[in-house]
């Protein structure tokens, strides 16, 4: 029983260690993409980027 729980804990820990960096990378890349699109929108229309940047913060 002890070995089984230890194995589950190890699996949980390793999956977290694999998932967390992927989440960090995806979130940062998504923010960069949003920032680029906001800059593009700012060049096209000056009304929308203000509200979108406020909602991001």
17 compared with 47, residue with greater pLDDT: 17
Cβ proximity of 25 and 36 under 8 Å? no
Burial grade of 53 (CB within 10 A; 0-12, 13-18, 19 or more): middle
| Chain-centroid distance, C-alpha 11 | 23
List pLDDT tens digits, range 26-53: 999 888 888 887 777 776 655 554 555 4
pTM score of the predicted model: 0.43
Cα angle, residue 54 at apex, residues 52 and 55 outer, rounded to 5°: 65
């Amino acid at each position: 029983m002890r070995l089984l729980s230890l194995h589950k804990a190890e699996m949980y820990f390793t999956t977290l260690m694999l998932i967390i960096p992927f989440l960090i990378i995806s979130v940062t890349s998504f923010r960069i993409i949003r920032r680029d699109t906001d800059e593009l929108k700012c060049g096209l229309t000056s009304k929308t980027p203000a509200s979108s940047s406020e909602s991001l913060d």
